[in-house]
């Protein structure tokens, strides 16, 4: 009987701690942020209600982990103080409106989704539930920037007391979490006001912070002594040079372990870390761009060509000229400059491109300057594997 399964125990002791769902039990790199969060919640341990607070920072900076951690500490402390506390942790990822989020919150509590009912009715239903729960309620809205500018929910909640939707003896506090640094600035004044002075910024981790995060994680995940110190440093360094994301650093390390295992090596070395970086980056670029339209791909090819010639940041006009050449080469129809700019913006949202807006010299007016946000080599690689772009990237070399 062949053995269809692998024995992973030569490398991994407990790989579940490398998985996305794992919540760390300590976050020493975020002591300051945790203190700020604790201070905001503290009134709820006495005679008041916790303050609303807003967590902001790029993806992979420990916002979700910190919120989960502080919430569980807060629950423990509230129980000791005989405070009636209910915490609700809700991820808004993939939801595009306040209405949808409220429907989901109602479903979470009742098992039934009120989707389709009038907005007012759904909100009233939600407030009934809140009043039924009673006491102190902390509602975490993670990735709340997913719902875009539609801040009805935050607006409603900030006024719910004034409008008598929520009983006087019930306290609802919001912990909002956003990956988008501009999210709060674009909300209505009343909502902004409720988070005033209560913003906790999660700045990007540097290489040494990422290294300590990885060292702690590696000690739990891998068999003792299997991972080279220098491989950990490499993974941390790669992530620091990119977005400073702990998620990314952990992904590199996990993949490095996987590669060592596949190769039958009994140590995780620099060589594995290097291969892991290329593989993880390729996978993430792939995920971002594989489902895009032909025009997105063509705009990206144009930018890649300029980038490889050292001609970026490039104005939209310049990207457009190259885009037209690409279209001619592939004998496809081209679209207008404005629409190509829209496609480039779409790619920016996915983290594939980035732009700055500058006032361009004598002409005046605000101009976009584009560059590639992903690794050039890995992006060329991915684009090369897309059939319908066959051959066109030959122009790059």
Ligand X SMILES: Nc1ncnc2c1ncn2[C@@H]1O[C@H](COP(=O)(O)OP(=O)(O)O)[C@@H](O)[C@H]1O
Asked if 316 touches ligand X (CB under 6 A), the answer is: no
Smallest distance, ligand X to C-beta of residue 181, A: 12
Tokens of 259: 């590669």
DSSP β-bridge partners for residue 367? 358
User: Contact with Mg ion (CB under 5 A): which of 61, 64, 173, 284?
Assistant: 64
In whole angstroms, give the CA distance from residue 224 to residue 162.
58
Site string for ligand X, 23-62 (x = CB under 6 A): -x--x-xx--------------------------x-xxxx
- Judged by beta carbon distances under 5 to 8 A according to partner kind, the member of ligand X, Mg ion, none in contact with residue 61 is ligand X
First to last CA, the chain: 50
Smallest distance, ligand X to C-beta of residue 374, A: 18
Cβ burial of 163 (10 Å; 0-12, 13-18, 19+) is: exposed
- Select 14 or 266, whichever has its Cβ closest to ligand X: 14
Contact between 319 and 370 under an 8 Å Cβ cutoff? The reply is yes
In whole angstroms, give the CA distance from residue 91 to residue 178.
11
Contact between 350 and 289 under an 8 Å Cβ cutoff? The reply is yes
Site string for Mg ion, 11-50 (x = CB under 5 A): ----------------------------------------
Encode 139-149: b = buried (16+ Cβ within 10 Å), e = exposed: bbbbbbbbbee
Tokens of 137: 């309620």
Site string for ligand X, 208-247 (x = CB under 6 A): -----x--------------------------------xx
- Judged by beta carbon distances under 5 to 8 A according to partner kind, the member of ligand X, Mg ion, none in contact with residue 313 is none
Tokens of 296: 């997105």
Smallest distance, ligand X to C-beta of residue 51, A: 21
The residues binding Mg ion (CB under 5 A) are 64
The residues binding ligand X (CB under 6 A) are 22, 24, 27, 29-30, 57, 59-65, 213, 246-247, 250
């Amino acid at each position: 009987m062949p053995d269809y399964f692998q024995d992973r125990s030569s490398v991994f002791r407990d790989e579940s701690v490398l998985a996305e769902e794992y919540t760390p039990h300590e976050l020493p790199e975020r002591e300051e942020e945790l203190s700020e969060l604790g201070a905001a919640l503290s009134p709820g341990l006495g005679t008041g209600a916790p303050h609303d607070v807003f967590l902001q920072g790029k993806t992979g900076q420990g916002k979700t982990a910190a919120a989960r951690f502080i919430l569980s500490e807060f629950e423990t402390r509230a129980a000791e103080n005989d405070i009636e506390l209910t915490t609700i942790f809700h991820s808004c990822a993939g939801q595009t409106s306040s209405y949808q989020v409220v429907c989901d919150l109602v479903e979470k509590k009742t098992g039934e989704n009120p989707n389709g009912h009038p907005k007012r009715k759904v909100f009233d239903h939600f407030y009934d539930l809140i009043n039924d729960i009673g006491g102190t309620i902390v509602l975490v809205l993670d990735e709340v920037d997913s719902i875009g500018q539609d801040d009805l929910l935050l607006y409603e909640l900030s006024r719910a007391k004034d409008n008598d939707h929520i009983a006087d003896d019930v306290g609802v506090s919001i912990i909002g979490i956003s990956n988008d640094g501009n999210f709060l600035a674009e909300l209505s004044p009343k909502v902004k006001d409720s988070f005033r002075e209560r913003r906790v910024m999660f700045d990007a981790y540097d290489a040494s912070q990422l290294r300590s995060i990885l060292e702690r994680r590696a000690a739990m995940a891998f068999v003792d002594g299997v991972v080279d110190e220098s491989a950990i440093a490499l993974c941390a360094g790669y992530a620091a040079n990119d977005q400073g994301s702990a998620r990314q650093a952990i992904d590199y390390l996990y993949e490095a372990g996987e590669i060592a295992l596949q190769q039958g090596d009994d140590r995780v070395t620099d060589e594995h870390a290097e291969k892991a970086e290329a593989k993880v980056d390729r996978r993430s670029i792939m995920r971002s761009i594989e489902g895009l339209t032909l025009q997105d791909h063509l705009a990206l090819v144009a930018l890649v060509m300029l980038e490889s010639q050292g001609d970026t940041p490039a104005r939209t006009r310049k990207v457009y000229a190259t885009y037209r050449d690409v279209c001619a080469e592939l004998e496809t129809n081209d679209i207008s400059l404005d629409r190509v700019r829209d496609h480039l913006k779409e790619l920016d949202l996915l983290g594939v491109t980035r732009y700055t807006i500058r006032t361009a010299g004598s002409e005046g007016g605000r101009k976009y300057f584009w560059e590639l946000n992903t690794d050039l080599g890995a992006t060329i690689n991915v684009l090369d594997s897309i059939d319908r772009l066959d051959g066109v990237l030959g122009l790059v070399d």
